[in-house]
Amino acid sequence: ASTFNSEEGSLFIETKSLADGNGGLNMTFGLKKNTNNFIAILFRSSAGEVWIQAQVAGTVTNIFLYGIPQDINNKIVLAWGQNYIRFYVNGVLKATRSSFGTFASGVLETLSFDSKIATENWYGNVKDVRVYNTALNDSDLETLMMLKVLYC
């Protein structure tokens, strides 16, 4: 398997979250190696909330919680590095945290849309996914927010 840069990186997804009516957690997207090391975007349809969760060497940290519109495309970016993580929605910085830990080399190796990170599968439409081996800066993010995905 190809290994992503665990120490520093950015995870981007453009997605439309869908309300499923069951009130449960219904979308999980992230990078992982196993259940002891992951970084994930989770969505709860009943509350219209996105939250970011990281597990570093077995210690889970709920990092951010943010209300997000359903049934429209949203561009979500997580950028992390040595002891920090930043969370953006549609190009706007929503939160920064500097005390969640640091991933060891090689522990993020799989791009995941499955329920091995949380208890439910992804429930939404995915328009674009990108993984960067560096933490994107504000200029990079501005450019990324302006990109249009073309369908063939």
Q: Which pLDDT score is estimated for 119?
A: 54
Q: Which pLDDT score is estimated for 38?
A: 80
Residue among 14, 18, 62 at smallest CA distance from 38: 62
88 pLDDT exceeds 70?
yes
The string of pLDDT tens digits covering residues 17-40 is 666 544 444 455 677 777 678 887
Amino acid at 86: R
Pick the most confident of 11-15, 39-43, 113-117: 11-15
Tell me what the mean pLDDT of segment 102-120 comes to: 69
The string of pLDDT tens digits covering residues 40-74 is 777 766 667 777 888 888 887 777 778 877 778 88
Q: Which pTM value belongs to this model? A: 0.79
Is-contact 133 22, C-beta < 8 A?
no
What's the sign of the alpha-carbon dihedral 103, 94, 137, 26? positive
